[in-house]
Every structure is written in structure tokens, then in C-alpha cells.
Structure 1
């Protein structure tokens, strides 16, 4: 993991104001994914969003990235309305978004190459970032030759090499085993504390949200709205994520947020169970 400070572009403020997003279903009906969503992410802040399945968490990420547009309301990044794909935004998905025909080095060098950096310099930057995530020596491997955790390290290097103002993460560690997930969370925090992009992190794992974030946003069951916002006042740097979970302050924050989240999870489950019946 990186130990040297990185000088990057300061994180950008994210403002989501009165946002509603509707979709047409295959049957032609209108489905409201999120409704009247209001919250902010301060520059350089790590914000986690939790909520039951289908509450519109990933939809919200798509609106911030500019990959989609709200039906109502407005999303602003660094004071400017989002109208198309935003500059300075990196996206890390739950599923691997690596090109299987490219080497590890080639995948990580893509970002600088797209920005017009010459191949030699792009590869030098990629080598440096692979070192930062602990993959020096694996530059010539292809994604299928790596473990799940190693592929996540490649994806993280590819997301951070551009030193983004905003890092959007959609359950990036959801498919990993518990031990690998804890290691990746610790590595992410170490790199984020150096770059300090604004992070919008989607997760179903409440422990993960509390351990990583400065702020946790709880969304209601569909249509998703903001039920509560919790500031996480655990000190930074936080060190190993495995150790944070045993702190009394962590356990109390987890209890408070779960009390807010539990009702929404139960409501969402009851709704789907009713449909299944």
C-alpha cells in the first residue's frame, strides 16, 4: 500500500437537490426509483449510502456521474450542474470492469492514455500505482490470472491513477471473502487519505459503511428517499479496519444506524415476499 503522500486535485462538493428519477418498465408502466432525494457530500468527504435492495442507491450514483439524468431536481458537482459525464470522476463497480484482453499494466494505463498522456509515461504512472496497491511484479498478467482480491486492486489502481475529484463506488468489495474484504477496505482508506477525493460509496454492509465513512446516509425502501444522515466521528487515521469494529464508539454508531435501517430492510423484504407469494 502507498506510504508517500500524493498531491491530487481537491475533492469536489456533491449536491443532490430534490432529485426524483422515474423509469419505464417493460410493460410501459412508470416506476419511481428515487423521490425527492436531498443530501450533500462535502469536498474530500467519504460518504457511504446504505439502504435495502432496490432503494435506488446505484441510480443515485448514475445521476452523480452524469451517466443518467434526473426526472426532477438537480445534481451539482463543484457548483456546476451535472449535464453529461462529469470531468474528474472515477467509477468502481461491484463486477470487474477490466478488459480481459489487456494486461494488468494495460488496464491501469488506460486512464492516462485516454487523457492524452504518451504511452511511456502512462505505463510509468501505471507501474507506480500498481506498486501502491501491492501488485508490483504482476504487470504482465491478465485479469483471469489473478485472484478476486487482486483484480479489485487493479480496479482500484485504475480508478485512482487519474487522481479524481470524485470517486464513485458501487459495492466494490461485495463479492470478496471476509478476510480479503477487510484488507481491501484498509488499503482503500490508506489511499483515500492521501488523495482525498470526495467519495460516494454504496454498500449493503453497515459495518463497512461505519468503518470507512465520515457520513452515512440511510435510504428508505422503494421509492428511495433520505431517511437519516449520521456523522461518523471516529478519529482518522483509523488504521486497520479489522480493529475499528471492536471499538465501543463504533458499536454504538452501528446500533444507532441499524435502528434506522432495520425498518426499511424489513419493509422491503415484506414487499418482495408478498410479490413472491
Structure 2
């Protein structure tokens, strides 16, 4: 069910959220220059809002500008037109209080697991002993106690994702940006990581923008699902996910009648864009 963009699902009653964690993306168009010097429009007039403490998933076909949008929220890139505001302030540089979790492992291979997780506090000026103590605590939270002295290459893919999650959350960010973080994992490991993420998010309640190609994942995790069109990406629909929280295991959520209804509604909106994007890349015309 498509809903107006200014509607907020909000955090659970009694949760404390940071009011400076509101994300407002307003009329954002982003253009790039191609190697031949021509202008390429990645997104066109993208507008949506993520309320403080809200979990927002963004879905859309490959190449529609989902990752580009994340880059502009983080301050790693700037819009060609429109504005991105965090906590009411326009984003003009690297946004303070944001953590970014990428699809590929962003771990330093020469550092231990403990060293990778402790980097965030160290960069913020925390003493090494205190940073290591916090890192040990976060490794315990993600189920990696006893692996502090391992290096990334000694871990499985799922374990590396746990390290990346601990590194992203150790500074207790007000905003968490996630770009297909579980896309490369097998189905079983992915479900475990989704459950881990929900549990940790319930504790901290950062505002989340979660990019995914997996519609089931989007519905299971999010308060709101934003559907983007094929390129140039714009907002086609915004769907409120009214599944109650806490939601429990994602494996069980997917069998609930309301989940299936929401999935069907959103897929009806998304499918046309996926087919159009595929037709564009194969040279076929979608009628």
C-alpha cells in the first residue's frame, strides 16, 4: 500500500531517538560526466524522508541510483540539483554521526579483528585501552568473542560481516547507511545476519537507509520501503510496513499473511521497473 511520504512509522514507544537523525532528501538530481564527456543522469528529483530511529529500505533495479543516493546522504558526493539535509542541516561535507556498511568487506587485512573494530573510537580520539575494551564488548555482542586476534582472511564471509557490523555500530551512530551489506552471503548466513541486525538496531535505534535487491529482506527488516524507478532513478512509491515490532526471526516473519500481502503489493510496483531496466540493457523495448 503506497503511502504519503511524510508519514512516519516512528520508533517503538519508550525508545529514545536522536532528533538530529532525520534525513530529508528533496528534489535530488545527480548527473555525472561519462568518459566521452556526455552528461549522464543517475537520479532525477528524488524526494523522501527518513524519520529519527526509522528503518527505511530502498529497492529498485540495478543502476537506478540507490548507492548514489547513499553517497549524497553521507556527504561523500553532492547533488547536482536539490538538497540533502540531516537533522535540519544541509549536507555540505562528510556528515558527522554516520556509519556506512558496504556490500564488499571494508576491513583492513593487516589489522586484527579487534584492531578493525577499535579503529572508529581511536579515530574519534578515544584512548587505545578504552577503544579496545569497547571493541571487545561489540565483538561479544555480534558473537565473535574469542576471535579478537584473528585477521579477516581467517574468518568466514558471515564472520567478516559481523566484524563489519561491529565496526559500524561501535560509535553508536545516529544514522546507519547500508549498501547491500548481506548480498553476497548464502541464504542461511544472510538470515542470521538479518536477525543480528534487527536485534542491534532495536538497542541503538539509529535511522537506517538499507539498500537491497531482495524484496523479502526489505519487507522483513524495514518500517518503510521506498521503490525507485529504472534509470534515471526517481521515487515511484513509498510503502509503510505495518508489521509489529519486535518482529522476531526473519525466517518466521516471511510466513505471516500480512508479510505476504505487503510483498505482493510492493512487487507489483517494483516488477515493472525491473523489467524495464532489463529491457534497456538488452536493447528490447518494453511496451
The reply to whether TM is greater than 0.5 is yes
What TM-score results when the alignment is normalised by the length of structure 1?
A: 0.96
**Displacement of 1:259 after TM fit?**
0.1
What residue is the counterpart of 1:198 in the other structure? Answer: 207
Structure 2 runs not aligned, ≥5 long: 1-14
Q: Deviations over 1:42-89 (max 9, x none)?
A: 000000000000000000000000000000000000000000000000
Is 1:127 equivalent to 2:133 in the alignment?
no
Give the one of 25, 30, 42 matched to 1:21: 30
Contact kept in structure 2, 1:49 and 1:200, CA below 8 Å: yes
Alpha-carbon distance change, 25 to 18 in structure 1, aligned in 2, over 3 angstroms: same
SS in structure 1 at match of 2:77? coil
What TM-score results when the alignment is normalised by the length of structure 2?
A: 0.93
1:8 & 1:99 partners in 2: Cα distance?
Answer: 31
Structure 1 runs not aligned, ≥5 long: 1-5
Is 1:139 equivalent to 2:143 in the alignment?
no
What residue is the counterpart of 1:48 in the other structure? Answer: 57
2:58 & 2:185 partners in 1: Cα distance?
Answer: 19
**Displacement of 1:11 after TM fit?**
6.6
SS in structure 2 at match of 1:122? helix
Q: Deviations over 1:90-129 (max 9, x none)?
A: 0000000000000000000000000000000000000000
SS in structure 2 at match of 1:136? coil
Aligned Cα root-mean-square deviation (Å): 1.3
**Displacement of 1:189 after TM fit?**
0.3
What residue is the counterpart of 1:3 in the other structure? Answer: none
Q: Which runs of at least 4 in structure 1 moved beyond 6 Å after TM superposition?
A: none
Contact kept in structure 2, 1:63 and 1:69, CA below 8 Å: yes
Q: Deviations over 1:196-232 (max 9, x none)?
A: 0000000000000000000000000000000000000
Contact kept in structure 2, 1:89 and 1:165, CA below 8 Å: yes
